Amino acid sequence: MLVTVAEAGGIDVADVAVDTDQTFAFYGRVSTEDNQNPETSYGWQFGNAQKFAAPGLITQTYFDVGQSRSVPWDRRPEASRLLTDLKRPDRGWSAIVGICSDS
């Protein structure tokens, strides 16, 4: 599934092949530094995101450390920054890619 940012700032969800003219923002998160290594977690999440977006098409990264998935996006520093950037027409990306994990 691919989530794209519409010109008007809305979000569209589509099951389509990746458009290589598109650029992506990556969002990832790690809950706690005690149970997960942030560097390792970032590495596997970003690597998997590149499989969906294609290498070189991710132009911006947002990665929260120490943020539970139960914390609303607007209260996570990097997720909040992503939401703010989403409203900017000069943000430099047209879609968001992220890897969800229940662990």
Digit-coded pLDDT (tens) for 24-37: 999 999 987 566 78
Q: Which residues contact 31 (CB under 8 A, 6 or more apart)?
A: 66, 67, 68, 69
Residue 42 lies in a domain: yes
Residue 3 lies in a domain: no
Which residues make beta-bridge pairs with 12? 4
**Residue 9, pLDDT above cutoff 50:** no
Residue 80 lies in a domain: yes
Q: Which strand (E) or helix (H) includes residue 42?
A: helix 38-53
Q: Which domain does 75 fall in, by range?
A: 28-103
71-100 pLDDT, tens digit each:
999 999 999 999 999 999 999 999 999 876
Residue 77 lies in a domain: yes
Residue 101 lies in a domain: yes
CB 24 within 8 A of CB 59: yes
Rounded CA-CA distance 2/12 in Å is 8
The strand ranges marked E within 22-80 are 24-30, 58-65
* Number of domains, the chain: 1
